[in-house]
Chain A
């Protein structure tokens, strides 16, 4: 591809995108950052308070608990979705007939909005009237309060997220598997490698880049979780499923504590961007190998 040097023309081409980025991301980021040093609750009062919002947050046990829960959710959900998605992709890749149809059916959850996934899970997992507890009971298994108890709520929202997003991992890893070059796999088979050996020694290393991309997407997306927690537990019981985005929402729209909400988001955005940068660096290194 010849890369041309008509500099100004390129700027015209990207100008509309830059204007949109300025309005929708640069302005809000600067606004939030500035506001995090003031005290503002929607009213006329607007006082400079220095780093007090930050210090207050760092001193609050609630903030640390919510930060911990956000990471717990993200790490466990991402790991679960990667494992299930990879496993399913390997299985479906193995099939001779019907793989296309199966792929179509398994894609369904990705078409469903997070809030609907949340409400649907409330119906299925209702402790008294839900069909899941009914089936557990019929099978002689212990029932669960699901969203209703602090001990099970977090596990339940993670499970719901896995139902929703495993398909994303599955579809991409499956495409990755299907586009692998056949020679090394064939060579391993001729050398007498078993299916398992061929998977771990040959296919998995070749899938590294694809898996890494999926890992980045799922990590960032699960850190930013909102819909399914908002729609199921709303952060409860107590604050056992509260995460950064639901906390920011509650502070801003229920308690009108704008500055506090913005401070939370500034810290959280810094964390998310730092993680993305680390991942991108690692990905570059991975591609260099």
Chain B
């Protein structure tokens, strides 16, 4: 076997491995999708049915299930609110860290990192007690605020690394043109880092949309999110697969569609943060 043949064989092997990985990655989601369209009998049939008559019943039943549509809308609202708070506050904080030297800067950085690392139940229970007192338990704003423990450090870290990419000549030029600090932020940093800020917003949205631990402990009915609603099907896992699968698909779909359109941003956000630090 000569050199070229070996290279070809290697490439063939690489494609085979990739194909296997794609199969393992996608099959569970596709299987869940088929079950959401199966009758109970078809879902439980042995051997498993690959060809069956699809039904919409499980999806229609979700519309009648108390609170499910509400949970979906709650999640849209809480996600938007959480992303907005995280991005606005992180833009200012990142600008502060990036452009200024001040006492306590290192402490601030370490604090952000520590907050990000904390296990959820350390802060969820104290927040529960606080929220019961001030009436923020089971509210959208209450959830959006607690999500900041994770989202804010993440956003500061990412947006800061996008600010680092802004060429310093532009920064200098804007100052010579008479821009003050906020003017430079508005006219130089925000426009130039806009794709990065978008990437940060998208990743934050995906995280909040999918979060369970915090939502499970701090929401009940009024602000219940989609993951908590899906988790309530937990008891059905061995009884009724259809409703559970349909609810799961409804919860996944927005993020999958999101991923298709924003894939470039997602990869950019995920990789820049880790490659540049």
Residue ranges of A at the interface with B (Cβ–Cβ < 8 Å): 1-7, 9-11, 13-14, 16-18, 20-21, 23-25, 27-29, 31-32, 35, 88, 91-92, 94-96, 102-116, 119-124, 126, 128-129, 131, 134, 163, 167-168, 171-172, 175-176, 179, 195, 209-210, 213-214, 217, 220, 223-224, 226-227, 230-231, 244-245, 248-249, 252-253, 258, 261-262, 265-266, 268-269, 272-273, 276, 280
**Chain A hits for B90, CB < 8 A:** 17
Q: Are A171 and B24 in contact (CB under 8 A)?
A: no
Contact at B237–A7, with CB atoms within 8 Å?
A: no
Chain A residues whose CB sits within 8 angstroms of the CB of B172 once the complex forms: 2
When distances are taken between beta carbons in the complex, the residues of chain A under 8 Å from B17 are 88, 91
B227 contacts partner chain A, Cβ-Cβ < 8 Å: yes
Contacts of A119 in B (CB 8 A): 230, 233-234, 237, 244, 248
Cα separation A213 to B274 with both chains bound (whole Å) = 6
The answer to whether residues A113 and B102 also contact, given A24-B127, A27-B130, A266-B122 and a CB cut-off of 8 A, is: no
Contact A17 B212 (CB under 8 A): no
Contact between A24 and B212, CB atoms less than 8 A apart: no
B103 interface residue (CB < 8 Å to A): yes
B48 within 8 A of A: yes
| B99–A224 touching, CB < 8 Å | no
Complex Cα gap A163–B32 (Å): 15
Q: How far is the CB of A266 from chain B (nearest CB, A)?
A: 7
Known A-B contacts A28-B123, A111-B255, A273-B114; the reply to A120 vs B14 at CB < 8 A is no
Tell me whether A7 and B156 are in contact in the complex, defined as CB-CB below 8 angstroms, given that A167-B25, A249-B121 are known contacts: no
CB contacts (< 8 Å) of B217 on chain A: these are 249, 253
Task: Collect the chain A residues with CB atoms within 8 Å of residue B99's CB.
Answer: 1, 3-4, 10
Most buried by B among A96, A175, A223: A175
B275 contacts A by Cβ under 8 Å: yes
Q: Does B221 contact A (CB under 8 A)?
A: no
When the two chains form the complex, which single residue of B98, B121, B251 contacts A265, counting CB atoms closer than 8 Å? B121
| Contact call B271/A269, Cβ cutoff below 8 A | no
Q: Are B28 and A20 in contact (CB under 8 A)?
A: no
A92 near B18: Cβ-Cβ < 8 Å: yes
A7-B103, A115-B230, A171-B270 known; A23-B145 Cβ under 8 A: yes
Tally chain B residues at the interface, Cβ within 8 Å: 98
Contact: B267 with A24, CB < 8 Å?
Answer: no
> How far, in whole Å, are A120 and B130 apart by their CA atoms in the complex?
35
The answer on a CB contact under 8 Å between B102 and A7 is yes
A112 to B120, CA, bound (A): 19
Residues of chain B at the chain A interface (Cβ within 8 Å): 10-11, 14-15, 17-18, 21-22, 24-26, 28-29, 31-32, 35, 44, 46-48, 85, 89-90, 92-93, 95-103, 105, 108, 111-115, 117-127, 129-130, 145-146, 148-149, 152, 156, 164, 168, 171-172, 181, 206, 209-213, 217, 227, 230-231, 233-234, 237-238, 241, 244-245, 248, 251-252, 255-256, 258-260, 263, 266-267, 270-271, 274-275, 277
Which B residues touch A171, using CB under 8 A?
A: 267, 270-271
B117: A residues at CB distance < 8 A: 220, 272-273, 276
Cβ contacts A to B, 17 pairs, < 8 Å? A3-B101, A4-B181, A10-B100, A21-B112, A102-B21, A104-B260, A109-B25, A113-B209, A113-B255, A119-B237, A126-B238, A134-B46, A172-B270, A224-B119, A245-B119, A248-B119, A262-B125
* Cβ–Cβ contact A108 & B212, under 8 A: no
CB distance from A228 to the nearest CB of B (A): 10
Report if A16-B93 is in contact (Cβ < 8 Å); known contacts: A107-B259, A249-B121, A272-B117.
yes
